[in-house]
């Protein structure tokens, strides 16, 4: 069996977390990572989301103010190195720049 990650790209209100929970039950073979790119999208220096753009205090208090897309990928690689196949569920718009940021 391949050890490539399984990546589910979804949109809000799609019932994808319910789908993800099925994979979460397979703890002996899968490492599930829930929406990891949201940290960089909302809080990090490369943030693309505007929700916390003018609220530096909230970004700092989140604990993710230094999260970048690279650090998220490094985390995924570390978790994959533990030997289990990685299952990632995330929002598609967390990894695609908004039209006005191209």
Give φ, ψ of 22 to 5 degrees: -60, -45
| CB-based contact 38:91 (threshold 8 Å) | yes
Q: 87 lies in a domain?
A: yes
Query: What is the arrangement of strands in the sheet containing 85-91, beginning at the earlier edge strand?
Result: 6-10, 85-91, 30-34
Task: Judge whether 71 lies within some domain.
Answer: yes
Helix (H, G, I), strand (E, B) or coil at 48: coil
| CB-CB contact of 68 with 60 (8 Å) | no
- Full domain range(s) for residue 81: 6-101
Q: What is the pLDDT of residues 77-95, one digit of tens each?
A: 999 998 999 999 999 999 9
75 domain residue, yes or no:
yes
Q: Does residue 25 carry a pLDDT above 90?
A: yes
Query: Is it the case that residue 99 has pLDDT exceeding 90?
Result: no
Report if pTM > 0.85: yes
Q: What is the pLDDT of residue 100?
A: 76
Q: How much is the pLDDT for 102?
A: 58
Q: Residue 1: inside a domain, yes or no?
A: no
How many independent structural domains does the chain possess? 1
Q: Indicate whether 1 pLDDT > 60.
A: no
């Amino acid at each position: 069996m391949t050890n490539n990650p399984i990546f589910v790209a979804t949109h809000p209100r799609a019932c994808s977390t319910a789908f993800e929970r099925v994979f979460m039950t397979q703890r002996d073979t899968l490492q599930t990572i829930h929406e990891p790119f949201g940290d960089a999208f909302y809080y990090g220096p490369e943030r693309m989301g505007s929700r916390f753009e003018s609220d530096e205090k909230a970004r700092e208090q989140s604990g993710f103010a230094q999260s970048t897309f690279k650090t998220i990928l490094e985390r995924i690689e570390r978790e994959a190195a533990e030997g289990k196949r990685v299952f990632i569920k995330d929002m598609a718009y967390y990894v695609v720049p908004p039209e006005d940021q191209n």
